[in-house]
């Protein structure tokens, strides 16, 4: 689930900029029209999967939906708890920073991954890559990356993988024993300009 913050206004603005009706965007993103209407009205409680489906169909990175407008060039402090928050089945993420460059958008997230089933994510905009570093101290192995070729990470490891194809996130709670704690990581998503 995501804190609603600027989501409603951003979603409406991006949908209109793309020239899509509510009906057409909901069809393309495979979500209910009523759900999209609620999100644009500032209500509803979207999952990470719903937000990525919308971002993918709008051709924008997730941060463009959930974050405030970009800060000025002056130094800016980004406090962990102040970032836009979102949650999927396994991954819970807080946007720490977003910077749009000439050709790319870079999103930096602090994430918590919970042991359990595999979280599947549809491919993002063509050319998008994800960079995930598992923090030291994690007690479980983590699998991330392309659904057909996930990478197993151990504490301190870093993975760089294509995110324009279906990809997965999973914490192996079995390896650490029953009741394994969540693991933390840093996730950077680089999305090329569309």
One pLDDT digit (tens) per residue for the chain, 194 residues: 445 578 999 999 999 989 999 999 999 999 999 999 999 999 888 988 899 899 999 998 888 898 876 655 556 556 666 777 788 887 878 777 767 677 788 888 999 988 888 999 999 989 999 999 888 666 778 899 999 999 888 887 888 899 999 999 998 766 545 567 888 899 999 999 86
pLDDT in the model for residue 51: 93
Phi first, then psi: give them for residue 185, nearest 5 degrees. -155, 165
Query: For residues 109 and 98, what is the distance between their CA atoms, to the nearest angstrom?
Result: 9
**What is the number of other CB atoms lying within 10 angstroms of the CB of residue 137?**
10
Task: State the angle between helix axes of 33-40 and 48-58 in degrees (0 to 180), rounded to the nearest 10.
Answer: 90
Query: For residues 37 and 109, what is the distance between their CA atoms, to the nearest angstrom?
Result: 27
pLDDT in the model for residue 104: 86
pLDDT in the model for residue 76: 55
Domains annotated on the chain, with CATH: 7-66 (1.10.260.40), 80-192 (2.60.120.10)
DSSP labels for 122-176? ---STT-EEEEEEPTT--S-EEEEETTS-EEE-TT-EEEEE-SS-EEEEE-TTTT
């Amino acid at each position: 689930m995501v804190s609603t913050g600027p989501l409603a206004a951003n979603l409406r603005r991006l949908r209109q900029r793309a020239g899509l009706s509510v009906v057409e965007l909901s069809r393309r993103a495979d979500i209910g029209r009523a759900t999209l209407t609620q999100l644009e009205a500032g209500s509803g409680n979207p999952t990470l999967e719903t937000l990525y489906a919308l971002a993918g169909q709008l051709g924008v990175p997730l941060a463009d939906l959930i974050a405030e407008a970009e800060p000025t060039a002056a130094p800016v402090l980004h406090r962990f708890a102040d970032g836009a928050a979102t949650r999927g089945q396994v991954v819970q993420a807080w946007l720490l920073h977003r910077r749009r460059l000439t050709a790319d958008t870079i999103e930096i997230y602090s994430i918590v991954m919970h042991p359990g089933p595999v979280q599947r994510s549809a491919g993002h905009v063509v050319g998008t890559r994800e960079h995930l570093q598992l923090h030291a101290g994690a007690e479980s192995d983590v699998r991330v990356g392309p659904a057909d070729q996930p990478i197993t990470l151990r504490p301190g490891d870093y993975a760089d993988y294509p995110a324009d194809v279906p990809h997965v996130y999973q914490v192996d709670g079995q390896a650490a024993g029953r009741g394994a704690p969540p693991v933390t990581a840093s996730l950077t998503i680089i999305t090329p300009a569309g």
